[in-house]
């Protein structure tokens, strides 16, 4: 899976590609989402399903990334990570603690006394 920052601009979505060196060359590539499944703004996504394609522009053929399915990892505004506040529960009932302890064991299995052994 690929993780990338998505920027929403005047003409659609794009992502920045760079060579990894400080001050090295970079470029922007268009990103297209499945119709009706676009993010609301700038964010970091993990692409679950997508492919490379291309389109004709006035400057010739250009590449683009087509994203069919994704998960939003982090939102941002002006390159500042969005802070998400998570309220942590501090008191639990005995049943909640027991349910949490057994959660990793899967579904409850009932065993009756009429086994075919």
For 77-97, what is each residue's pLDDT tens digit? 434 443 434 455 566 676 666
| Mean pLDDT, the chain, integer | 77
Answer for the pair 54, 61: CB distance below 8 angstroms, yes or no. yes
Strand ranges in the chain using DSSP code E only, listed in sequence order: 2-9, 12-18, 26-33, 43-57, 60-77, 80-81
Residue 9: which residues within 8 A CB-CB, separation 6 or more? none
DSSP-derived 3-state class of residue 49: strand
Q: Write down the residue that tokens 């250009």 correspond to.
A: 62
Determine how many CB atoms are found less than 10 A away from the CB of residue 47. Answer: 19
DSSP-derived 3-state class of residue 116: coil
Predicted confidence pLDDT, tens digits, the chain (117 residues): 789 999 999 989 999 988 878 888 888 999 999 888 899 889 999 999 999 999 999 999 999 999 999 999 987 543 444 343 445 556 667 666 656 655 555 554 454 555 554
Nearest Cα residue to 8 out of 37, 26, 25, 31: 31
pLDDT at 83: 41
pLDDT at 11: 87
For the chain, the first-to-last Cα distance in angstroms comes to 48
- Burial (Cβ within 10 Å: 0-12, 13-18, ≥19) of residue 31: buried
């Amino acid at each position: 899976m690929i993780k990338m920052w998505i920027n929403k601009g005047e003409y659609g979505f794009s992502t920045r590609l760079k060579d990894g060196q400080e001050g090295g060359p970079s470029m922007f590539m268009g990103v297209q989402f499945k119709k009706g499944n676009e993010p609301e703004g700038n964010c970091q996504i993990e692409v679950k399903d997508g492919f490379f394609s291309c389109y004709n522009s006035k400057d010739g053929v250009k590449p683009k990334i087509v994203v069919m399915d994704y998960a939003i990892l982090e939102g941002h505004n002006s390159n500042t990570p969005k802070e998400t506040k998570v309220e942590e529960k501090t008191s639990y009932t005995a049943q909640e603690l027991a349910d949490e302890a057994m959660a990793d064991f899967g579904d409850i299995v009932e065993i009756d006394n009429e086994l075919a052994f």
